[in-house]
Structure 1
Amino acid sequence: MKGFARPTLPANLSEPCPPIPELDTESWDALNKAYIDLAFSYGECEMRRKAIVEVFG
């Protein structure tokens, strides 16, 4: 029986989470868009993290 070989980590899972963008406006519309963008980015990053934990954890 051969030894267990750990799978290779896909490049997209090893990317760091994107930085939180700085908001330099007082517009409520811009704040709303920034919040939606941040929530989407966080969701993608969290899915990558969960995948890493599931496969490599």
Structure 2
Amino acid sequence: MPAKSAPYFRHLKPAAKDDKRSNEGGLFMLVTATGLRLWRFAYRYDGKQKLLAT
């Protein structure tokens, strides 16, 4: 599946609960109920799941 484009993420609207919209390879955007859009990257290191936030 191809990566989603920038307009797709720009037009995301907040919902009642936090929502994850993934792109590919562990990269996703977290859209909070208050309308914040935050990029996150989930990965594994030494057998443990980690989350990188920007």
TM-score computed with the length of structure 2 as normaliser: 0.22
Between 1 and 2, higher relative CO (CA 8 Å, sep ≥ 6) is seen in 1
Q: Which has the higher strand share?
A: 2
